[in-house]
Amino acid sequence: MKDKPDPRHNLPKRRLTETRRIETPDGHTIHLSVGYDPNEHGRPREVFYSAGFKSGSALEFQIQDACVLISILLQHGHRPDEIAKSLARTERPDGAIAYASITGLIADELVKAQHSSA
């Protein structure tokens, strides 16, 4: 068992970034900026909240913090699918299974980003 995480992967100041839009189950639209590792094509290494909720609201801060935490995990070597598989899911009224939080939706979007740009 390791006592310390893998070293943080530092990104160059300039790197490919893509803005993506996700819809929440309650109808909100969230814009995220995904930064990719220039040395590993298609591998997300960071995510930033861009827009979608009232500026200064508690929900906006929660999403910003979730993005920071996910980014730290990515920069320490975790892959989006490893993060996403550990997050809570819930059953929708139509019987479909969906992520139970916006954090899960963000992680799922990073999985999609990795697959669409690979």
Model confidence pLDDT, tens digit, residues 35-85: 999 888 889 999 998 887 788 888 889 999 999 999 999 999 999 999 999
Cβ atoms 72, 59 nearer than 8 A: no
Between the alpha carbon of residue 41 and those of residues 8, 17, 45, 55, 86, the distances in Å are 18, 12, 11, 33, 24
Predicted structure pTM score: 0.84
CA distance 95 to 80: 25
CA distance 33 to 35: 7
